[in-house]
Amino acid sequence: MLLDLADPTKIIYRSDYPVLEPDMWYENDWKPGIVYASGSIIKDGELFVYYGGGDKYVAVAKANLSEFLHKLTNNQHAILEPVKI
């Protein structure tokens, strides 16, 4: 969801769909079906979200920021893709 910068209690947009789902084995180890978003950065037009998977691993997922925001604000399925190293 996107919150108002001046009043973070105000929700501007909220996705009807999950933006990050645990699909990889390491995201489903120990606590299957759970990912914990814990921080994000924007670099060179990309949104990177750091998250914990399965309560044992740290990973990062990304999306083009412009495309992600466009989809989110137009009620389309905005998705963060896990970064494979």
Could you tell me the two tokens for 41? 């950065």
Q: pTM for this one?
A: 0.86
Q: Do residues 45 and 66 touch, judged by C-beta distance below 8 A?
A: yes
The residues spanned by each domain of the chain are: 19-82
pLDDT of residue 44: 98
4 torsion bin: left (phi>0), alpha (psi -120 to 50), beta (else): beta
Say how many C-beta atoms besides its own lie within 10 A of residue 27's C-beta. 24
Compute the distance between CA of residue 48 and CA of residue 31 in angstroms, rounded to an integer.
Answer: 23
Residue pLDDT tens, the chain, 85 long = 899 999 999 999 999 999 999 988 888 887 788 888 999 999 999 999 999 987 788 999 999 999 999 999 999 999 999 998 7
Could you tell me the two tokens for 33? 């079906």
pLDDT of residue 57: 86
Compute the distance between CA of residue 81 and CA of residue 55 in angstroms, rounded to an integer.
Answer: 19
